[in-house]
Chain A
Amino acid sequence: MKKRFSQRIGFGILWLCMAATLFFLGSIIYFIVVRGAGVFSWQFLTDVPRKSMTAGGVAPAIAGTVYLTMGAMVFALPLGIACAIYLNEYSPRGFIVNIIRMSINNLAGVPSVVFGLFGLALFVKSFKFGVSILSGSLTLGILVLPLIISAAQEALMAVPQSLREASLALGATHWQTIKRIVLPNALSGILTGAILSIGRIAGETAPILFTAATFYNRGFPKSIFDEAMALPYHIYALMTEGTHPDQQTAIAYGCALILLLLVLAISASAIIIRQRQRRFHA
C-alpha cells in the first residue's frame, strides 16, 4: 500500500517537472509571438530602418544574418565533412587520432565569447580583415566546426560495414568506395547535421559582437569586407543602445519573433527529416 502511494507521489513530481519545463519554454515563445506579431508586417521584413531605429524595417539585419550564416557554412561544411571522413574512414586508431578527437570535443565546449576573442585577435587584427562579414563568418565557422564533424561522423558510422566490404571486394579502391558507396549513403545524415548547425549559428551573438556586427547600416552590405547588421545583435543593440527605448523595444520584439521563427523552423525541419529517416531505416 505504502509502495503504491510513494509511486504515485513520485510520478506526480515528475509530471510537475515536465509541466514546469513546458510551461517555462512555452511562455517564452508565447510572449514573443504575441507581442512580436504586432509589429510584424511585410514592410518590417523588407524595409531598411528609418527615423533612427524607431520605424521602418529590419531587412539589412535579416540579410546580414543570412550572409554570415552562409559564409560560415561555406567554410565549415567542407572542412567538417573532410575531418569526419578522415576520422571514420582513414584514421589508423592510435595516439594522434585520439588527440584530434579530444581537441574536437574540447573545441565544442569553448564558450562562444572566447571564439569571439579568437576571431578578433586572428581575423580582425592579425589578418587585417577588419570588422567584416568575412571575419564574422570565419569565426562562426570555427565555432560550428565540431558540431558538423560529430554529426557527419555519426552519419558515416551509420553506413553498414558490409557495404564497404562489398565495394572493396569488387576491386574498388579506398577512395572510390568512399566516394561512390559511403558518402551517398551518409549524405542525408550529413545534411541534417548541417541544417541543425545553420540553426545554431543563425542565433549566435557573442562571436560576432567584435568581429562583424554593427548597430546601423544605411543599406545592405556590398562586399565581404563590410560590417553587417545581424538579427541577434540587433535585438541586443536595440535593448541597450539608442535613445528611444519604447519604440526600440517594439522593434526588438519583431526581431526576436523573426529570429525565433527562423531558428525553430530550421531545427524543426532537420529533426523531422531525421525522424523520418530513422523510421525508414528501422
Chain B
Amino acid sequence: MENFTKIKEKIYRGGFTALAFSSLVFLAGIILLLLKESLPLFRHVRFSDFIFGRAWYPTASVPEWGIFPLIMASFWVTLGALFICVPLGVGSALYIHEIASAQQRVFLKPLIEILASIPSVVYGFFGMVVAAPFLQKAFGLPTGLCALTASIILGIMAIPTVCSLAEDALSCVPDSFREASYAVGANRWQTLMRVVLPAAGSGVSTAIILGMSRAIGETMTVLMVAGGAAIVPRSFLQPVRPMTSTIAAEMGEAVMGSLHYNALFSIGLVLFVITLVFNMIAEMVCKRFRLKLGIDR
C-alpha cells in the first residue's frame, strides 16, 4: 500500500514536470519553425541585402526582397505611438496613484484594466472609419491612412497597458520613502517628482518597454490604418507598411513553399528577435527595480 502511494506520487510529479516542459517546447518550436521556413530564402538573397535592401517587390517579375522600408515603418509608427502612450499612460498612472480619491481609485483602476482588453481590430476599425477621415480633413491630406493615424491609434491602444503597469510600479514604492520626504518639508508634488517617480523609475521604464514591444508587434491596427505603401517613410503623413502588416496582408496570396512565403517567415523571424530583445531588456530592468526596492518575488 505504501509503495503504491509512493509510485503514484512519482507519476504525478513526472506528469507535471513533462507538461511544464511543453512551454519550453513551444518556444523552441516557434524558433525552429521560423528558421526552417525562412532559411531557404537566404540561398537566393544575401542576409544584408534582405535587411538593408530598399525595395520590397515580392511579386515583380524580378522580385526584390529588401525589408528596410518595412523595418523603418515599424519603428516610425512605434516611435510616434510612444509620444502618445508614454505621457498619457504615465500621467494617468500618476493621477490614479497620487491625486485620485479612494473612491475614484476603486473605479479607475479596474476601468483602465477593462479598457486594456478592447481588441486591436476594434481600434483598427475605429481608426479607419473615424480617425482617418477626421485627420484627412484636419490636415488636408491626400489619404487619412498614414503613419500619423497609425501612430495615434497605436498610442491610444497602448495607454491602458502602460498605465496599469506603471501604476503597479508606483504602488511598489514603500510609504516610508514618501513619509521621509514629507518630513523634510517637501510637498506632494515635489515628493511625487523627486522621490516616488525616481524610485519607481525602472519599474515605469519596464512598463514603457513592454508597451513599446506591444506596439511594434501589433498587427491588425497597422494593417487597417497605416496605408500599406512599402517605401522608406520621409514624413509622418505618408502611408507606410510595417513588418506585421506585410506578413498579414501578403501571406494570403503567397504560394506555400514559394520564395515569397519564405520571405514572409523571415520577416516574422526579424520581428520575433526584436520583441525578444525588448522583453529581455524589460526583464533585466524589472529585476533591478525589484532589487532596489528590496522586493524579492
User: Residues on A close to B: CB < 8 A?
Assistant: 3-4, 6-7, 10-11, 13-18, 20-21, 24-25, 28-29, 31-32, 79, 82-83, 85-87, 89-91, 99-100, 102-118, 120-122, 125, 142, 145-146, 149, 173-175, 196, 199-200, 202-206, 209-210, 232-233, 235-236, 239-240, 249, 252-253, 256, 259-260, 263-264, 266-268, 271-272, 275
Contacts and interface: CB of A to CB of B under 8 A. Distances in A.
Contact of B122 (A10, A79, A173, A256): A256
A134 to B, nearest CB: 17
B227 interface: no
Contacts of B159: 21, 24-25
14 contacts: A11-B99, A14-B94, A14-B95, A14-B98, A90-B13, A103-B28, A109-B217, A111-B275, A196-B117, A203-B117, A205-B220, A206-B248, A260-B118, A267-B113
Nearest to A272: B110
B187 A4 contact: yes
B218 to A, nearest CB: 7
Contacts of A83: 16, 19-20, 22-23
A235 B187 contact: no
Interface residues of B, number: 92
A199 B116 CA distance: 11
Given A114-B268, A267-B114, A268-B114, 4 more contacts: A82-B16, A175-B9, A205-B219, A235-B121
A82 B112 CA distance: 30
A256 B30 CA distance: 31
A267 B117 contact: yes
Interface in B282-297: 282-283
Given A203-B121, A239-B224, A267-B117, A87 B30 contact: no
A7 B188 contact: yes
A4 B218 CA distance: 42
A144 B33 CA distance: 19
A213 to B, nearest CB: 10
Nearest to A264: B114
A15 B94 CA distance: 9
A83 B189 CA distance: 44
Majority SS of interface residues in chain B?
A: helix
A110 B217 contact: yes
A232 B96 contact: no
Interface in B239-254: 244, 247-248, 251-252
Contact of A109 (B99, B130, B248, B278): B278
Given A17-B91, A18-B96, A112-B217, A90 B9 contact: no
Nearest to A271: B110
B9 A107 contact: no
B129 interface: yes
A263 B219 contact: no
A106 B277 CA distance: 9
A86 B19 contact: yes
A232 B121 contact: yes
Interface centre among A32, A99, A109, A256 (most CB of B within 10 A): A109
B204 interface: no
Contact of A122 (B27, B33, B193): B33
Interface centre among B33, B122, B189, B247 (most CB of A within 10 A): B122
